[in-house]
Amino acid sequence: MKKIIAAAIGAALSTTVAFAQGNYPSGPVTIIVPYGTGGSTDLTARAVAIELEKIWNSPVVVVNKKGAGSMIGTTEVTQAAPDGLTLLLNTAAITTAPAIQSDLKFDPVKDITPISLLITSPYVLVGGANVKSNDFSGFLEEAQTRPMFMGTAGPGSSSHFMSELVILGANLPADVVHFSGGGEAQTNMMGGHSDTYISTTASVMPYVNDGRVKALAVLANKRFPLLPDVQASGEAGVKGVDIEGWVALFGPGGMDPALADQINADFAKAMATDSMQKLLTDNYALAGDLSPAEFWVVYERDLKIWKDLAEKRGIGK
């Protein structure tokens, strides 16, 4: 009898550390996408879920919980158990939203475990019909004679924060105009109603490629390898705007670091597949290669940058 009990205890103990031995996941994994169906984050999640099902031999369910600038879905994940069976795929919005939303039901540092930086791509400043210059240096001069209107996808969006960052970093004479989503911001720019828009490569490159907007700058210190012809903001002497856009994986707060490492490795495997690599090239993006600990540093740094910027520029006030 004692033997049986001992065996049972042993078995119970071994399951609690099972993930470390490669037995994760113990059941279906839910990836929460805090945006609607069909958006770029949703598409990434659905594509990567197919690859993960092959790796894990276990169902992976993508659930869309949109609203409140991605904070509704994010809040839901923070309330789940940190067993790796509930994950969150979010963009940099997870770092910008806490800077302006005062009603959050969670602590963005304590209640979230950053796991994996899946996709990175630089932010690109694009100009519309009314912008005459073709690069960033020219644009900065043009703005001295004619103050610019920088269109955004809405207050608190990454395009808004990046625009404010550029205004601050380049001492740019410009006003921010908020549109409802990136599509509207871009068409208003094409129609000459506003002048610029900032977003990641995936959203602006289709329009750059068909010549309706022009890429003025990659917001980075050095040129982006996939867009060698576009001037980097650093070349024009503008500092402090070199933030990258990303799509990343998070879990509820307090996740075991070993489990986070395991999930990070599995996602890296999924990102290395042909189908995911094609998705990346199509979107002019790169796969991230940070460990959970390294990504944690980036995450907290970005949270702070946006919080400080919000205070300095009076965003959300």
Partner 1 sequence: MELLANLALGLETAITPVNLFYCFAGVFLGTFVGVIPGVGPLAAISMLFPITFYLDPTAALIMLAGIYYGTTYGGSTASILLNIPGATSAAVTCLDGYPMAQQGRAGVALFMTTIASFVGGSFGIVILSLFSPVIAEYALTFGPAEYFSLMVLGLVAASTIANASPSRGLSMVVLGMLVATVGTDSQSGVARFTFGSMSLLEGFGISAMAMGLFGIGEILSSVGATRSAKIDSSSAKMRNMLPSRDDWRRSWMPGLRGSSIGAFFGALPGTGPSIAAFMAYAVEKRVSDTPERFGHGAIEGIVAPETANNAADQTAFIPTLTLGIPGSATMALMLGALMVHGIQPGPTLIVEQPALFWGLVMSFWIGNLILLVLNLPLIGIWVRLLLVPYHYLYPAILVFVCIGAYSVRANAADVAMVLAFGVLGYVMRIAQLPAAPLLLGFVLGPLVETQFRRAMVLARGDFTAILERPIAGTVIAISVLMLVWGLGGAMLRRRRKILDTRHQKSVGG
Q: How far is the CB of 278 from partner 1 (least distance, A)?
A: 9
* Interface stretch with partner 1, choices 15-23, 70-78, 119-127, 295-303 (CB under 8 A): 70-78
Q: Which two tokens stand for residue 241?
A: 């705007």
Amino acid occupying residue 253:
G
Nearest to partner 1 of 289, 311 (CB atom): 311
Give the residue, chosen from 137, 187, 221, 291, that forms a contact with partner 1 under the rule CB under 8 A.
187
Phi, psi (rounded to 5 degrees) for 286 = -120, 155
Residues 223-242 that bind partner 1 (CB under 8 A): none
Structural contact between residues 133 and 141, judged by C-beta atoms closer than 8 angstroms:
yes
Rule CB under 8 A: say whether 313 interacts with partner 1.
no
CA 282/CA 83 separation, integer angstroms: 33
Rule CB under 8 A: say whether 30 interacts with partner 1.
no
Rule CB under 8 A: say whether 173 interacts with partner 1.
no
CA 84/CA 104 separation, integer angstroms: 23
Rule CB under 8 A: say whether 307 interacts with partner 1.
no
Residues in the chain, overall count: 317
Structural contact between residues 234 and 221, judged by C-beta atoms closer than 8 angstroms:
yes
User: Cis peptide leading into 25, omega within 30 of 0?
Assistant: yes
* Interface stretch with partner 1, choices 67-75, 164-172, 216-224, 261-269 (CB under 8 A): 67-75
Rule CB under 8 A: say whether 194 interacts with partner 1.
yes
For 92-212, list the strands marked E by DSSP: 112-127, 148-152, 174-178, 196-200
CA 137/CA 145 separation, integer angstroms: 14
- What does the DSSP 8-state code read for residue 234? G
Rule CB under 8 A: say whether 79 interacts with partner 1.
no
Q: How far is the CB of 54 from partner 1 (least distance, A)?
A: 17
Rule CB under 8 A: say whether 208 interacts with partner 1.
no
Rule CB under 8 A: say whether 59 interacts with partner 1.
no
Q: Which two tokens stand for residue 172?
A: 């740019």
Q: How far is the CB of 187 from partner 1 (least distance, A)?
A: 6
Nearest to partner 1 of 55, 72 (CB atom): 72
Nearest to partner 1 of 77, 260 (CB atom): 77
Q: Which two tokens stand for residue 5?
A: 């009990």
Give the residue, chosen from 29, 65, 200, 227, that forms a contact with partner 1 under the rule CB under 8 A.
65
CA 114/CA 221 separation, integer angstroms: 25
Structural contact between residues 148 and 173, judged by C-beta atoms closer than 8 angstroms:
yes
Rule CB under 8 A: say whether 139 interacts with partner 1.
no
Give the residue, chosen from 80, 212, 256, 300, that forms a contact with partner 1 under the rule CB under 8 A.
212
Rule CB under 8 A: say whether 78 interacts with partner 1.
no
CA 195/CA 92 separation, integer angstroms: 24
Rule CB under 8 A: say whether 68 interacts with partner 1.
yes
CA 88/CA 59 separation, integer angstroms: 16
The residue count for binding partner 1 (CB under 8 A) is: 50
Rule CB under 8 A: say whether 214 interacts with partner 1.
no
- What does the DSSP 8-state code read for residue 240? S
Q: Which residues bind partner 1 (CB under 8 A)?
A: 36-40, 42-43, 46, 63-69, 71-72, 75, 100-103, 105, 149, 154-156, 160, 175, 177-180, 183-184, 187-188, 190-194, 206-207, 210, 212, 282, 315-317
